[in-house]
Amino acid sequence: MVRRIYPCTYCGSVYANTLDHVIPHSYDHVHNKRTYSKDKVVPCCSECNTMLGNKLFDTISEKAAYLILKYNKKYKKLLSLPDWDEEELEEMEGRLKEKIVFNNRRKNNIKLKIDNCGLVRDVNPSINDIWEHL
């Protein structure tokens, strides 16, 4: 069987390697057995799933809003780094330039994750909406 690769529901990461129980399993264990039916889970990357933990939220939108706060806190130092333009980078060389370019890419990736969480927060999709659009 070939597994389909889904994007993360929250941050939009290309590879959602886990499933997030929209209502955490610790709150919704009727038969003390984990279920992974599509009416209870959404595709999620491990970073978002770890940050969400077993916190209880009423909607996917509330989870996305929480993730925005968590990403901003976790990457506060990286997000506060200055933006470097191409002219400034051309004047540099060696390891300093490599480090700045690397951090700029990381910073931009985190900004994209935060922006995507903002879109999810604003749209407020249901679990069914998520699966219908994949």
Rounded Cα distance between 69 and 131, Å, is: 25
Tens digit of pLDDT for each residue in 97-123?
A: 999 999 999 999 999 999 999 999 999
pLDDT confidence of residue 2: 47
Rounded Cα distance between 105 and 84, Å, is: 11
Tens digit of pLDDT for each residue in 44-76?
A: 999 999 999 999 999 999 999 999 999 999 999
- Name residue 41's beta-bridge partners: 21
Nearest to 83 by CA among 66, 100, 67, 71: 100
- Whether the predicted pLDDT of 40 surpasses 70: yes
Tens digit of pLDDT for each residue in 20-37?
A: 988 887 776 665 666 777
Q: Determine what percent of the chain is predicted with pLDDT higher than 70.
A: 93
Rounded Cα distance between 52 and 22, Å, is: 10
